[in-house]
Structures are given as structure tokens and as C-alpha cells.
Amino acid sequence: MTRVLTNLGLATALVLGACRSRSPSTDAPAMDAHGDSATGRAPVRLTADQARAIGVTYTTVTSGALERTISAVGQLTPAEPNLADVTARVDGFVEQLFVDATGVPVRRGAPLLALYSPMLVSAQQELLTAERLAASSDSSDGEAWSAAQDLVAAARRRLEYWDISAEQIARIERSGTVTRTLTLTAPFDGVVLDKMVVQGQAVTAGMKLYRLADLSAVWVEGDVFEQDLALVRVGVAARVEVTAYPGRAFAGRVSFISPVVDPQSRAGRVRIVVPNPGGLLKPGMYASLTLGAPLGADVLSLPAAAVVMTGERNLVFVVGAGGVLEPRQVTLGARAGGRIVIQDGVRAGEIVVASANFLVDAESRLTTGAGMPGMPGMERRP
């Protein structure tokens, strides 16, 4: 193996040496002995045989739409706007549970539990008494009739404030009898995430009884590294995959980008809304996220391997007139896969060196006499 590498190095040195040994008057255009002061490099001319020998290939500067793919991991959670807690508005006792387990799907208006409360019984009696007074009041006596109507309205509002539905209140008024228990119902279609009550339990005002979630859409919250955050925008399309359904992707969109970055992980939280009409996505699942980050509809780009990054400057070798490889300093933008955005320094359609450019760069430096000063044998000789 060592012999092969040694032979390859010798062959490369011979090719480059042959390139330098050719007469400047026949193989290279006139130039400053020190090359281009902006790049610190000089143009290089290679014959077709020399280019093939050291593996030089070429590519074209292209202009067009470019998108970067950002990968992240995340976890599914219920969408916060689709959560609701069912709470007791009055003190009482759970007479009967209609939904007695977590995970049970419920429909809007479906009964959850029957609550017995002396306060509710008293409020119903007040409503019926106010109804009888209003019915017996003389409509010709405007003041007395108006007062009776106000009492009825106040009794209804009291029940409404305790989360008694209009339908239940109307049923009490139609029957004219007090109901011992009143039923609390589901506010929307969803699933019971938590049940915090058992049958016969005493409850107090403000106590949480159930937590419901509408899972027709879920959130996926993931962490995007700091260097990628600038490319993520609200509304960008996202691809979500979970291990439960290999080979299947779910489509979503970014709805929120955290205004802060975690100081430990150096990542920012991104939230994606994913429609979930079939209920296949379960809160708590881990997910792989792929975000498409458009870099522009008309940007210049090159394969990243075509750029020589010296630490001081970024260079490409452009094929100029007569096949001369001209060093050109470029300004780089974001990467997208194996390509990199070129913000300045080249034009669309120009042809540049795509591979073996480190050898071309070495020859360009030697031509300027910039190669490793002080090293024996590397001086520029007449």
C-alpha cells in the first residue's frame, strides 16, 4: 500500500513538474510573476493529457432553485388548542360515571358523569319558583311583571355559570320538576386523555374531572440545530415519519419557531402541525422530521468539492480563454446537500474545476512562488 501511494505521489509530482517546465512563452499567457494579488494564486495551463493524468474534471456554474434538507427528531404531542379540561363548577358528589376510563373516544354533547349537588338542586328549585311567579304575575302591572322576568333570567344564568347546558335547563323548565343529578357533557369530539375522578367521589368547585383532546391534528415538536434555524420559516413543508409505519410519510407544516435556543444542546424548538384524520399518529410517539428549506428561486451554485477552502479565502479555478485555469475568489452561501451557494465571484454558465482542484491549487501556488517558503527545493528557480 505504501508503495502504491509513493508511486501515485511521484506520478503527480512528475505531471505537475512537466506542467511547470513548459516554456511560459508557449504554454501560459503573460502574467505578473507573483500571480493575482487578490487570490495569491497564478493561472495554470494543463494539457488534456495532464488533466486526465491527475484526475481533473469540470462542472458548470448553474442558476436555479435550490433547497436544503434539514433533518431533526421530535415527539408527537396533542395540539394545545385542541385540549379541554372538564371541571366541577360546584361542590357535589359523583353519582354516576358514563365515561369511566382513559382513552375512550367521546362525541360532542356525550354524557361524562352525573353530579349530585345540593347547590344545584337548590338552584333548580329557585328557577322553577321564579317561573311560577312569572306565570302568575299580571302582565298589566309592568313593574311587577318585569321583576318576575328578571328573577327567571337570573336563575337561568346561575345554572349556566355552573356549566349546565341550555338543553338541560330547558328540560327542567318543561318538566317542572327538580332533577336530583345533572349531567356534565363533552365539549367536543375527542379522546379522554386523563380521568381524575371515580364514582362516589366528593368533588369541589374547580376540581379537574377529565382532560379531553381532539386528535384530528397533532403537533410534532423537534429540535433544529442553531446553524439551520435561519433557514426554517413558518409555513415550510415538513415530512414526518414514525417507526410504527415504516415507509409511510405524513405531511405537515411548521407553525412555530421558538424565540430562544437551548444553551446546552444549541438547538431551537420547532413545532409542526400534522393532520391526523385516521388517528394513526399517537401522542408520545417519536418522529423523524425532514424540513425543506428553500435557499432561493434563482441562486448560483456549485458542487461543494469544486471550492478550494484555504482558511483565508475560498477559491475556484475557472476555465478561461485557451483552457487556462484562472483562480477566482468566491463568496460562499448556504449548503444544500452536496452543493453550495455562490454569492459572488462567478457567473452562471462558467466552467470550473470540479475535482483534483487541490493539485491545481498546489501548482498555482508554486507558480507564484508562494509554496512553503523556507522549505528546501520549493523555491522558485529561474
Cα-based distances in Å from 311 to 32, 80, 159, 329: 24, 48, 75, 12
pLDDT above 70: residue 376: no
The residue out of 172, 197, 213 marking a domain boundary is: 213
- What average pLDDT does range 205-210 have in this prediction? 93
Task: Please tell me the total count of domains within the chain.
Answer: 3
Which pLDDT does position 160 carry in this prediction? 86
The residue out of 163, 198, 213 marking a domain boundary is: 213
The residue out of 213, 233, 265 marking a domain boundary is: 213
- Secondary structure of residue 10 in the 3-state scheme: helix
What's the whole-number average pLDDT of the chain? 83
pLDDT above 80: residue 51: yes
How sure is the predictor about 369, in pLDDT bands with cuts at 50, 70 and 90?
Answer: low
pLDDT above 60: residue 11: no
How sure is the predictor about 142, in pLDDT bands with cuts at 50, 70 and 90?
Answer: low
Number of separate helices (H) and strands (E) present in the chain: 8, 21
State the CATH number of the domain containing residue 136: 2.40.50.100
Q: What is the DSSP string of 293-342?
A: EEEEEEEEEEEGGG-EE-SS-EEEEEE-GGG-EEEEE-EEEEEETTEEEE
* Residue 4 located in a structural domain: no
**Domain range enclosing 120:** 86-213
The reply to whether 208 and 220 lie within a common domain is no
The reply to whether 101 and 188 lie within a common domain is yes
* Residue 377 located in a structural domain: no
Q: What is the DSSP string of 81-124?
A: GGEEEEE-SS-EEEEEESS-STT-EE-TT-EEEEEE-HHHHHHH
Which pLDDT does position 37 carry in this prediction? 56
* Residue 42 located in a structural domain: yes
The reply to whether 174 and 99 lie within a common domain is yes
The pLDDT tens digits of the residues spanning 71-117 come to: 999 999 999 999 999 998 899 999 999 999 999 999 998 999 999 99
Which pLDDT does position 96 carry in this prediction? 94
Which pLDDT does position 1 carry in this prediction? 42
The reply to whether 182 and 99 lie within a common domain is yes
pLDDT above 70: residue 267: yes
- What average pLDDT does range 33-45 have in this prediction? 69
More confident residue, 270 or 365: 270
Cα-based distances in Å from 23 to 209, 281, 360, 380: 92, 71, 18, 15
How sure is the predictor about 140, in pLDDT bands with cuts at 50, 70 and 90?
Answer: low
The pLDDT tens digits of the residues spanning 286-334 come to: 999 999 888 888 889 999 999 999 888 899 999 988 889 999 999 998 8
Which pLDDT does position 31 carry in this prediction? 40
pTM: 0.67
State the CATH number of the domain containing residue 227: 2.40.30.170
